[in-house]
Amino acid sequence: MMNFKKTVTELLQVALDKNPSLFLIDLKIGTDKSIVVLLDGDQGVTLESCVEVSRQIEHNIDREEHDFSLEVSSVGVGSELTIPRQYIKNKGRTLEVISLDDEIFKGNLTQADQEGIILEWKTREPKPVGKGKVTVTKTKNLTFASIKKAKVIIK
């Protein structure tokens, strides 16, 4: 089984090396040799990309030796963001982020790097002097360690 996992992992890496805009979100290999590959891409993931990755794995494992099932798919719109590269890819989009202390932030993702993100949003607040309200821009810096959940808000 260990050699099977190693073979699948190596073949998957070859497929990803051929298409550098794709990146792995999750790889699960069950004890029944079921393989589930979950991908994302800097420009999204096409059906053709999923087929190419699938073929790279499927065509290089001997079916006589291993009885396996294979599923290659892409993360769905609105799926949780899990790795920095997904945040970087979604700069300029609106996110809903829940911090570890359960604060909820909704805002435009203005910056993202390997450490964390910056969200920006507008809100109405009472004027410092006098009556009425004024629109102010707020920002929140969040490290990835402080984020419990985050997803893109589809408008």
Last residue of a domain, one of 51, 74, 97: 74
41's CB contacts (< 8 A; 6+ apart) are 19, 21, 22, 23, 49, 74, 89
* Domain annotation covers residue 79: no
* Domain annotation covers residue 102: yes
Question: Is pLDDT of 33 > 70?
Answer: yes
Last residue of a domain, one of 32, 49, 74: 74
Judge if 58 and 115 occupy the same domain.
no
Report the pLDDT value the prediction gives residue 1, as an integer from 0 to 100. 63
Three-class SS state of 144: helix
Confidence of residue 94 (pLDDT cuts 50, 70, 90): very high
Task: Spell out a b/e string for 58-67, using b for 16 or more CB atoms within 10 Å of the CB, else e.
Answer: eeebeeeeee
* Domain annotation covers residue 46: yes
CA dist 114 and 41 (Å) reads 17
| Residue 122, token pair as written in the block | 């507008």
Q: Decide which of 1 and 5 is more confident.
A: 5
Judge if 66 and 8 occupy the same domain.
yes
Backbone angles phi, psi at 87, to 5 degrees: -65, -45
Domain of residue 13, residue span = 2-74
Sheet containing strand 133-143, strands side by side: 133-143, 116-126, 104-112, 94-99, 147-152
pLDDT, averaged across the chain = 94
pLDDT digits (tens, 9 = 90+) for 106-131: 999 999 999 999 999 999 999 988 89
pLDDT digits (tens, 9 = 90+) for 38-91: 999 999 999 999 999 999 999 999 988 999 999 999 998 778 999 999 999 999
CB 103 within 8 A of CB 117: no
pLDDT digits (tens, 9 = 90+) for 134-146: 999 999 999 999 9
Count of structural domains within the chain? 2
Residue 109 belongs to what H/E stretch? strand 104-112
Tell me the CATH number at 66: 3.30.300.20
